[in-house]
Amino acid sequence: MAGLIALALLLTAGCNPTDEELATRIADGIKAAVKNSDVPVGDLNPLYRGVWPSVFYVDPGDRQHGTGWLLEPGLIVTVAHLVEGRRQVIVRQATAPTFVADVVGSDHLRDVALLRYDPAQAALDPRAMPLPMGNATIDDIAKDLLALGYSGSGVKRLGTVGSPKANAGILSQITNFGAASYGRNLEMDAAIDPGDSGGPVLNRQGEVVGMVRAAARHSADGGLVVGTFYAVHADEIRTAIASIESGEQ
Ligand SMILES: *[C@@H]1O[C@H](CO)[C@@H](O)[C@H](O)[C@H]1NC(C)=O
């Protein structure tokens, strides 16, 4: 961006501004651009830095990995399709040691699964805090969302995976697939990819309002879809967790 502004200024500036003049004009140009923009620059960064240690790489071992997040000490939430048929999964952290978690249960319709680990055995990153849950309604459409996930990430030496990726967007719509399907979902334009599934979708207050589930690929008439991504709605996550916990023997 600075390069483009510099070029534009050079073309209109007339003869030979000093480097100092040029630097001042470029700085003023950027300030004006930011001031006139409705999108504040970089302000999801404090949120990201507060929550990333609570986001985990969930490794089912026999298929594409996904993501999970800390609900409370001992409990991690992820998507059901990631852990289907598994009784245990490997949980990898950005920089802290790997641990094993049991699959407590899954709500397949809502695509929510609950994992349990022993807090006395697992050495979590000390900055990992349970993520509070929030809500999203149609009044929140066009508000910012931050999705975190481990798409495209690989396992490093010692089994760590580095910090998760940040994908920002807005709440595009809330859609209801019906009780016999995925229930209520957030539609968002935060671009998510394989590996991000199960990642938390946060509002600006740092509350989990959804969980990354899927990307739309084709419209009803077969056209290519590139900007529609689905997340399990917070209410469906709450309902699923309650039903998994109550069904536990
Ligand atoms: C979330 O918002 C919806 C829509 O307003 C509402 O029906 C639901 O009860 C809310 N959930 C919670 C937990 O407050």
Q: What is the DSSP letter of 44?
A: T
Nearest to 186 by CA among 129, 137, 220: 137
Show Cβ contacts of residue 216 under 8 Å, excluding neighbours closer than 6 positions.
225, 228, 229, 230
Domains of the chain: 2-36 (no CATH), 52-116 (2.40.10.10), 138-245 (2.40.10.10)
- Cα four-point dihedral sign 38, 207, 181, 115: positive
User: Which residue puts its alpha carbon closest to atom 8 of ligand 1?
Assistant: 235
Distance CA 142, CA 39 (A): 12
Q: Count CB-CB contacts under 10 A for residue 15.
A: 4
Name the residue of 133, 135, 137, 175 whose CB sits within 8 Å of the most ligand 1 atoms, as the mutation to test its pocket: 135
For helices 19-36 and 2-12, give the axis angle rounded to 10 degrees. Answer: 120
Distance CA 145, CA 128 (A): 20
pLDDT in tens, the chain (249 residues): 444 444 444 344 445 666 666 556 655 655 554 454 454 555 899 999 999 999 999 999 989 999 999 999 999 999 999 999 999 999 999 999 999 999 999 999 999 999 999 999 999 999 999 999 999 999 999 999 999 999 998 999 889 999 999 999 999 999 999 989 999 999 999 999 999 999 999 999 999 999 999 988 888 899 999 888 999 999 999 999 999 999 864
Say yes or no: CB of residue 235 within 6 Å of ligand 1. Answer: yes
Nearest to 205 by CA among 116, 135, 117, 148: 135
Nearest to 205 by CA among 1, 37, 46, 76: 46
Burial 190-223 (b: 16+ CB within 10 A, else e): bebeebbbbbbbbbeebbbbbbbbbbeeeeeeee
Token representation of residue 142:
């066009």
User: Which residue puts its alpha carbon closest to atom 5 of ligand 1?
Assistant: 137
Say yes or no: CB of residue 64 within 6 Å of ligand 1. Answer: no
**Rounded-to-10 torsion of CA 132, 244, 111, 124:** 50
pTM, two decimal places:
0.83
Token representation of residue 182:
């995925």
